[in-house]
Homo-oligomer: A and B are copies of this chain.
Amino acid sequence: MSKIAALDTYDVRFPTSRQLDGSDAMNPDPDYSAAYVVMRTDQPGLAGYGLAFTIGRGNDVQKAAIDTLNDHVAGLDLDEVIDDLGGFAKRLVGDSQLRWLGPEKGVMHMAIGAVINAAWDLAARVAGKPLWRFIADMSPEQLVATIDFRYLTDALTPDEALTMLHTAAPTKLRRTSQLLAEGYPAYTTSPGWLGYSDEKMQRLAREAVAEGFRTIKLKVGMNVEDDVRRCRLARAAVGPSVAIAVDANQRWDVPDAIRWLRHLKDFQLAWVEEPTSPDDILGHAAIRRAVAPVPISTGEHTHNRVMFKQLFQAGAVDLVQIDAARVGGVNENLAILLLAAKYGVRVFPHAGGVGLCELVQHLAMADFVAISGKKDDRAIEFVDHLHEHFTDPVVISGGTYVAPSAPGFSAQMHQDSVERYRYPDGPVWREPADTAKA
């Protein structure tokens, strides 16, 4: 009988701020980082991998939060964990003393999410399937059993979820074939970081179109004249038929957002992301009403299913960015995907970070096969950073994500990368800045 041996954790940071990769109106100099966790078993070579994504300072706190969960996990029977991923998640989220630190938000919830994701990775590896397929192959009853419906039943009951999944079930195989043949649409944020020059942005935008992307995203929110100019230059670079989205990264108050977006009205934006505080459900609803028909979205910082529920109930968004490493793991993301499907809200997963593309592709693909049945009216973010550090990096072809085939959740990093970028003792952080490679 195999056991979970321990959680090994690592504070891994990439010095991305040295080149302004990832810069936006609220995050001028992020160092993309991962509080990385290895759920080790007593079987040599068998482990699950997960991570919480941060942007630098505080990654040590995030790692410390994961460390506190070791006592909940070490010594558990492997089969009991992977056969009851719902119960496993509920025990972590439900620890009454740890719950006080959120509840279900911030550092502790992200830590719990990383450990839960490592357990799903482990379960998919044992099953020999990529995670998207492991989820898609679950029966409706098995999938519903993984979800904590607490605080959701005024919007979605277990019975409603079952009905939705049973409706989708007979055509799952057809969509699996379709996914394998076509991939899943991607959009790219690589041209649009705020720290890039106009020339670099236009060059990258043209390259993106040449590579097959049908949507690009620009960061906005620092200066309205700059934003108008960048939108105009981007439109000139990509032509009339490629969609342009913008992302304000929470820069505005509600009245500011409404004023600012009037200046961007002519660019037929695909969406405006994070116009204000991620907590401001009523604010998003007010902005959306005021600037209609400009589509409004949020989600990468939306901390749990209760907040997503309200975004949908309030009609606050046209689409959402789910994030694989912000909420309480796969279980909570399945709840959010079911809610989105019920309310008819499109999902454009967030992936600007390290490892987020690798993780979130599985959720979007499982959603297509088993839940919403849709992919062609949505897309997964793609940013071409740091994939080389992962053992099963994403594959992009012609502007689409190719469905991964290796078992697991694609979160495993090369141990060499982990050692090299460990903070503060890895060689990258001990070398002078001008010689280190980001």
Contact, CB under 8 Å: B151 / A280? yes
**Number of identical monomers bound together in the oligomeric complex:** 2
Q: Is A174 an interface residue (CB 8 A)?
A: no
Q: A27-B96, A151-B253 are in contact. Are A108 and B106 (CB under 8 A)?
A: yes
- List the one stretch of A201-209, A281-289, A393-401, A425-433 in contact with chain B: A281-289
Q: Which residues of B contact A154 (CB under 8 A)?
A: 253-255, 283, 286
Q: Is A68 an interface residue (CB 8 A)?
A: yes
Q: Which 4 A-B pairs have the closest CB atoms?
A: A106-B106, A107-B107, A154-B254, A57-B97
A26 to B97, CA, bound (A): 9
Chain B proximity mask over A79-123: 1 for CB below 8 Å, otherwise 0: 000000000000000011111111111111110000000000000
Contact, CB under 8 Å: B279 / A304? yes
Q: Which residues of B contact A142 (CB under 8 A)?
A: none
Contact, CB under 8 Å: B96 / A29? yes
Q: Is A247 an interface residue (CB 8 A)?
A: no
Contact, CB under 8 Å: B96 / A107? no
State the Cβ distance, A149 to closest chain B Cβ, in Å: 8
- List the one stretch of A42-50, A58-66, A330-338 in contact with chain B: A58-66
Q: Is A138 an interface residue (CB 8 A)?
A: no
A103 to B279, CA, bound (A): 9
A306 to B278, CA, bound (A): 9
Q: Is A381 an interface residue (CB 8 A)?
A: no
A-B contact pairs, 6 of them (CB 8 A): A26-B99, A55-B97, A58-B68, A61-B68, A154-B286, A279-B304
Q: A57-B98, A306-B279 are in contact. Are A105 and B103 (CB under 8 A)?
A: no
Q: Is A28 an interface residue (CB 8 A)?
A: yes
Task: State which of B64, B105, B301, B306 has its C-beta within 8 Å of the C-beta of A61.
Answer: B64
Q: Is the interface of A mostly helix, strand, loop or mixed?
A: loop
- List the one stretch of A183-191, A213-221, A233-241, A307-315 in contact with chain B: A307-315
Q: Is A152 an interface residue (CB 8 A)?
A: yes
State the Cβ distance, A103 to closest chain B Cβ, in Å: 6
Q: Is A130 an interface residue (CB 8 A)?
A: no
State the Cβ distance, A232 to closest chain B Cβ, in Å: 28
Q: Which residues of B contact A304 (CB under 8 A)?
A: 279
Task: State which of B30, B102, B281 has its C-beta within 8 Å of the C-beta of A310.
Answer: B281
Task: State which of B65, B96, B153, B253 has its C-beta within 8 Å of the C-beta of A153.
Answer: B253
Task: State which of B101, B106, B256, B309 has its C-beta within 8 Å of the C-beta of A54.
Answer: B101
A95 to B55, CA, bound (A): 11
Task: State which of B64, B98, B106 has its C-beta within 8 Å of the C-beta of A102.
Answer: B106
A152 to B277, CA, bound (A): 10
Q: Is A321 an interface residue (CB 8 A)?
A: no
**Nearest residue in B to A33 (C-beta to C-beta)?**
B97
A55 to B313, CA, bound (A): 33
Q: Is A133 an interface residue (CB 8 A)?
A: no
Q: A60-B64, A108-B58, A306-B277 are in contact. Are A30 and B152 (CB under 8 A)?
A: no
Give the contacts of A298-331 with B (CB-CB under 8 A): 301, 303-304, 306-307, 309-310, 313-314
